[in-house]
Every structure is written in C-alpha cells, then in structure tokens.
Structure 1
Amino acid sequence: MLRELLQLLPSLFVSKETIAQFTTELINKVYQNFNHDTEHLLPGCYFYAGLQIQVKSFSAYSTFLGQELNYWDWLIYDGFGQVVLKTGVADTRDDAVALAQIWTVEFLDGKIGQENK
C-alpha cells in the first residue's frame, strides 16, 4: 500500500527508481525492527531477522522411480505471519534452514525485490 501511495507523488519530485528503493528500504527496516512478540509467531515458525521461517517435511511417492521421496519445504512469512514472502524446497532440513536464512538476509539487504516470490 505504501508503494502505491508513493507512486502518486509527482514525477517532478522523485523518480520511480527512487520511490522503489525508498519503499524497499523502509519495508526492510520495519521487518528488521519488528518486535518479536510470540503473539504473532505461527506454530512451527521461528523468528530470523524480523521475519518468520517455517521448515516442514513432506513425502511424495514417485511412480516413475517406484519409491517414496522425502523433501523439506521452507516458507518465509512477514514478521506478523500474515504474508508468505518466499517458499522453497530442499533435500534436507539443514539445507532448507540455510536456504531460508540466506534468502532472508539477501531480501533484507535489498538484493532481492519483493516481487520475486
């Protein structure tokens, strides 16, 4: 919503790139400074740099391979647990945690835009 409001500013004052950069930095600061209140923590999640990370296992049977395959899902939520920012899959729990934390750091450093899900 903030991004939409800032887009309404006349282009004479600021460029769209400046608006996008400012919005991303402001949103990331909100995430980083979020009060880690357990009231907002979703079941099975933990806080990491102001965001919530959830890692869970799942199995799928492959008829092609004739065996059951085990994977780990990782999900990153905003600090309030309302919006899924990113999801991914890994072969092991450790890989899932590492990938989620790497993505979180890159996202908060502004290396990844919010449009990339």
Structure 2
Amino acid sequence: MEPIIIQRVYDHAPARGTVFLVDRVWPRGVRKEDLRIDGWLRDVAPSNELRQWFGHRPERFAEFAERYRAELAEHPEVLQPLRTAAEKGPVTLLYSAKDPDHNQAVVLRDHLEHVRQR
C-alpha cells in the first residue's frame, strides 16, 4: 500500500507521487504557476461553514474531525481522484494551515487510510 503524505504548501519541499491541493481556498501568496500540483480538489475540503466554525482552534479539532468525516461520508465521490491516485503510487496532500497537527489534511489522510483498509 502506497503512502499518503501530508505537506504544508509553504514548505517548498519536493512532493512525492501525485500531488493534490486539498484546501477550499487558494493559499495566500502562492502563484498558481509556482505550485506544482496534479489537481486542486476544492470539493474534498471541508465546507465553508465547517472551515469557518473550526477557525484552526485546536480545542475544536476533535469535533471538527468528526464533522468533516461526516461530510466526506455524505459525498464519497469527491475522494475518487485520491483513491485512484493512491492505487498507482504515493500521494501528497498539500494544505496551507499553520498547524501541522490540527488541519483538514490530517483528517483527510486518516479517513483515506481507514477507507482503504475496508
């Protein structure tokens, strides 16, 4: 099983495999032509309402993760590009949040890993 890697878009480290931006909003200060990605999956990101409610507040992360997983479960088709790419090789999920432990890419990676094991 190939790995699903998460990486902050501002780290400028080389990404492995197929690379997707998984934010609903384009990262501030990053020009589209400077970001090497295979796709921008806005629809896989949390809804605007959920994203704004969370506000990157760590104390809300557990509930955010639960609500986000529920959104993903309601729309499993948005995961298809990620699942297809993961069957072929490593996948890197790019995100722009400052907190590497409390963001949607962490939840998305864990959700994808859980779905793959079924």
Give the alignment's TM-score, normalised by structure 2. 0.23
Report the structure, 1 or 2, having the larger helix content: 2
TM-score (normalizing by structure 1): 0.23
Structure having greater relative contact order (Cα 8 Å, sep ≥ 6): 2
Larger radius of gyration: 1
